[in-house]
Amino acid sequence: MENKTITSVNNPLIKKLYKLRDNKKQQLSDGIILVEGKNNIDEARKLNLVEFLLTTNEIDNNKDIRVTENVIKKLSSLKNPDTTIAVVKLPVYESKKYKRVIFLEGIQDPGNLGTIIRSAVAFNFDAIYLSKNSSYLYNQKVISSSQGAIFMIPIFQMDLLKAIDLYDYNVISTHLSEESEFIDKTNFPESFAIAFGNEGTGISSELLSRSKSNVSIKISNIDSLNVAIAASIAMFEISKK
């Protein structure tokens, strides 16, 4: 059976997907995003999240849609688009108390966010809570720097104080203060949320006041580490315990 190839960017489906591409609100209300990159598409597929592919490659099923290169170019947000774009439904996760949790407050850089997600999966964390004033979760740069990990861990973009209210998380903030312990000398409880703050200003006073303790990473010569680096070192340390 030969499927029809979509060759025009004015095709109604393509026009609809093009609108969706840059419309965060619609993405969240429809629960649908466009995903590029082999690793990301492979992960989404493993988790049964791929609705269908748009591809210039040959197809072997009734779901996927063959398109011409101009269509991929129109829909892609990459300078050098791949041959395939996936239409992916957003995973839905159970709202509950998780055991080892990351709190991210005001993480602005999508590359940092994606990298933290990748490390969180590598170091076996159970969930991520992302403050509303952080980067948009399904930004293409977040997805691509997560290398597929974005689909492998529950992530909730919501008010962090509300998450504490709901689940009584034991919050440990990465923050340099007189009482902060070095992370490699710290005993972590069985269940906790470790918090990382904004690239420039760190963790807010509101969240600090709700934290049970502070930890820091010992560094020399400069004031701070990149936040994705700090978060990953902390997760690595914790994963060893």
Binding segment (CB under 8 A) for its own copies, from list 28-36, 70-78, 81-89, 120-128 = 120-128
Rounded Cα–Cα distance for residues 71 and 10 (Å): 9
From residue 125, alpha-carbon distances to 100, 135, 142, 152 in Å are: 5, 20, 18, 10
Does the footprint of its own copies cover residue 233 (CB under 8 A)? yes
Residue 181, strand partner residues: 215
Among 14-22, 97-105, 118-126, 155-163, which window interacts with its own copies (CB under 8 A)?
118-126
Could you tell me which stretch among 88-96, 187-195, 208-216, 219-227 binds its own copies (CB under 8 A)? Answer: 219-227
Q: Which is nearer to its own copies, 164 or 231 (CB)?
A: 231
- 47 near its own copies, rule: CB under 8 A: no
Q: With respect to its own copies, which residue has the nearer C-beta, 209 or 221?
A: 221
CA max distance for the chain: 70
Beta-carbon neighbour count of residue 39 at 10 Å? 14
- Residue of the chain from 118, 140, 163, 192 that contacts its own copies (CB under 8 A): 118
37 scored as a contact of its own copies (CB under 8 A)? no
Residue 124: CB minimum distance to its own copies, A: 5
Q: Give the interface segment with its own copies, choosing from 15-23, 63-71, 148-156, 203-211 (CB under 8 A).
A: 148-156
CA distances for 221 relative to 16, 174, 184, 196, 218, angstroms: 52, 19, 20, 21, 11
Integer Cα distance of 71 and 145 in angstroms: 24
Does residue number 111 form part of the binding site for its own copies (CB under 8 A)? yes
CA separation (Å) from 224 to 25, 220, 240?
35, 9, 23
The answer to the question of residue 56 lying near its own copies (CB under 8 A) is no
Q: For 173, phi and psi rounded to 5 degrees?
A: -95, 135
Does 198 help bind its own copies (rule: CB under 8 A)? no
Q: Is 121 in the site for its own copies (CB under 8 A)?
A: yes
Answer for which of 148, 163, 193, 194 binds its own copies (CB under 8 A) is 148
